[in-house]
Protein backbone atom coordinates (compact mmCIF):
# COMPACT_ATOMS: atom_id res chain seq x y z
CA UNK A 1 0.00 0.00 0.00
CA UNK A 2 2.76 2.45 0.91
CA UNK A 3 6.52 2.43 0.58
CA UNK A 4 9.15 3.86 2.88
CA UNK A 5 12.57 5.22 1.96
CA UNK A 6 14.83 3.82 4.65
CA UNK A 7 17.74 5.94 3.39
CA UNK A 8 15.77 9.17 3.85
CA UNK A 9 16.73 11.30 6.85
CA UNK A 10 13.06 12.05 7.48
CA UNK A 11 11.71 9.94 10.37
CA UNK A 12 9.83 6.86 9.23
CA UNK A 13 6.65 7.79 11.09
CA UNK A 14 6.58 11.15 9.24
CA UNK A 15 6.96 9.35 5.91
CA UNK A 16 4.04 7.10 6.84
CA UNK A 17 1.93 10.12 7.81
CA UNK A 18 2.72 11.86 4.50
CA UNK A 19 1.98 8.75 2.41
CA UNK A 20 -1.42 8.25 4.04
CA UNK A 21 -2.24 11.96 3.84
CA UNK A 22 -1.57 11.81 0.11
CA UNK A 23 -3.68 8.67 -0.37
CA UNK A 24 -6.55 10.26 1.55
CA UNK A 25 -6.27 13.65 -0.20
CA UNK A 26 -6.24 11.99 -3.65
CA UNK A 27 -9.28 9.91 -2.75
CA UNK A 28 -7.47 6.59 -2.99
CA UNK A 29 -8.61 5.92 0.58
CA UNK A 30 -12.28 6.80 0.88
CA UNK A 31 -14.08 7.98 4.04
CA UNK A 32 -14.87 5.13 6.44
CA UNK A 33 -12.40 2.78 4.74
CA UNK A 34 -10.52 0.69 7.25
CA UNK A 35 -6.84 1.46 7.64
CA UNK A 36 -4.35 -1.42 7.73
CA UNK A 37 -3.92 -2.75 11.25
CA UNK A 38 -0.89 -1.52 13.15
CA UNK A 39 0.51 -5.03 13.37
CA UNK A 40 -0.01 -5.95 9.69
CA UNK A 41 1.45 -2.68 8.40
CA UNK A 42 4.43 -3.01 10.74
CA UNK A 43 5.07 -6.51 9.41
CA UNK A 44 4.62 -5.39 5.79
CA UNK A 45 7.11 -2.53 6.22
CA UNK A 46 9.40 -4.48 8.58
CA UNK A 47 9.30 -1.78 11.23
CA UNK A 48 8.35 -1.52 14.89
CA UNK A 49 4.58 -1.39 15.54
CA UNK A 50 5.18 1.61 17.82
CA UNK A 51 6.28 3.57 14.74
CA UNK A 52 2.98 2.82 13.01
CA UNK A 53 1.07 3.67 16.18
CA UNK A 54 2.86 7.04 16.36
CA UNK A 55 2.00 7.78 12.72
CA UNK A 56 -1.64 6.82 13.29
CA UNK A 57 -1.76 9.06 16.38
CA UNK A 58 -0.56 12.00 14.27
CA UNK A 59 -3.10 11.21 11.53
CA UNK A 60 -5.86 11.02 14.15
CA UNK A 61 -4.78 14.31 15.74
CA UNK A 62 -4.84 15.98 12.31
CA UNK A 63 -8.32 14.63 11.57
CA UNK A 64 -7.41 12.18 8.80
CA UNK A 65 -8.45 9.01 10.65
CA UNK A 66 -10.58 7.99 13.61
CA UNK A 67 -10.37 4.94 15.87
CA UNK A 68 -13.18 2.49 16.61
CA UNK A 69 -12.51 0.55 19.78
CA UNK A 70 -11.91 -3.11 19.05
CA UNK A 71 -12.17 -2.63 15.27
CA UNK A 72 -9.20 -0.46 14.26
CA UNK A 73 -8.71 2.86 12.53
CA UNK A 74 -10.82 4.27 9.72
CA UNK A 75 -10.47 7.11 7.23
CA UNK A 76 -12.33 10.21 8.35
CA UNK A 77 -14.46 12.40 6.10
CA UNK A 78 -11.73 14.83 5.13
CA UNK A 79 -13.70 17.01 2.72
CA UNK A 80 -13.12 20.11 4.86
CA UNK A 81 -9.42 19.27 5.25
CA UNK A 82 -9.11 18.73 1.50
CA UNK A 83 -10.82 22.04 0.67
CA UNK A 84 -8.66 23.89 3.21
CA UNK A 85 -5.53 22.31 1.75
CA UNK A 86 -6.56 23.24 -1.80
CA UNK A 87 -7.26 26.81 -0.68
CA UNK A 88 -3.85 27.04 1.01
CA UNK A 89 -2.09 25.70 -2.09
CA UNK A 90 -4.04 28.11 -4.31
CA UNK A 91 -3.01 31.04 -2.11
CA UNK A 92 0.61 29.90 -2.11
CA UNK A 93 0.58 29.57 -5.90
CA UNK A 94 -0.90 33.04 -6.24
CA UNK A 95 1.91 34.41 -4.09
CA UNK A 96 4.54 32.57 -6.12
CA UNK A 97 3.07 33.82 -9.40
CA UNK A 98 3.19 37.37 -8.05
CA UNK A 99 6.82 36.88 -7.03
CA UNK A 100 7.57 35.50 -10.50
CA UNK A 101 5.97 38.55 -12.14
CA UNK A 102 7.99 40.84 -9.90
CA UNK A 103 11.16 38.93 -10.82
CA UNK A 104 10.45 39.40 -14.52
CA UNK A 105 9.11 35.98 -15.45
CA UNK A 106 6.67 35.98 -18.33
CA UNK A 107 3.29 34.26 -18.22
CA UNK A 108 4.69 31.65 -20.61
CA UNK A 109 7.66 31.04 -18.29
CA UNK A 110 5.31 30.49 -15.36
CA UNK A 111 3.12 28.11 -17.35
CA UNK A 112 6.17 26.17 -18.56
CA UNK A 113 7.46 25.87 -14.99
CA UNK A 114 4.10 24.64 -13.69
CA UNK A 115 3.79 22.12 -16.53
CA UNK A 116 7.32 20.82 -15.91
CA UNK A 117 6.61 20.45 -12.19
CA UNK A 118 3.26 18.78 -12.88
CA UNK A 119 4.95 16.01 -14.88
CA UNK A 120 6.14 13.77 -12.04
CA UNK A 121 7.77 16.65 -10.18
CA UNK A 122 10.16 17.15 -13.07
CA UNK A 123 12.90 19.72 -12.85
CA UNK A 124 12.74 22.97 -14.76
Reported as a single tens digit per residue, the pLDDT across 71-113 is 999 999 989 888 988 999 999 999 999 999 999 999 999 999 8
17 shares its domain with 71: yes
pTM of the predicted model, to two decimals?
Answer: 0.75
For residue 100, the enclosing domain spans 80-118
Note whether residue 110 is domain-resident: yes
Domain boundary among 47, 62, 77: 77
CA distance 116 to 100: 16
The packing angle between helices 107-118 and 79-102, to 10°, is 140
Q: What is the pLDDT of residues 21-30, one digit of tens each?
A: 999 999 999 9
91 shares its domain with 67: no
Amino acid sequence: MISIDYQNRQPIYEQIVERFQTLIMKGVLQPDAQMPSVRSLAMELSINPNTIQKAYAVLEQQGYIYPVKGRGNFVADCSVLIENRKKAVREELEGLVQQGKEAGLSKEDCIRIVEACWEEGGSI
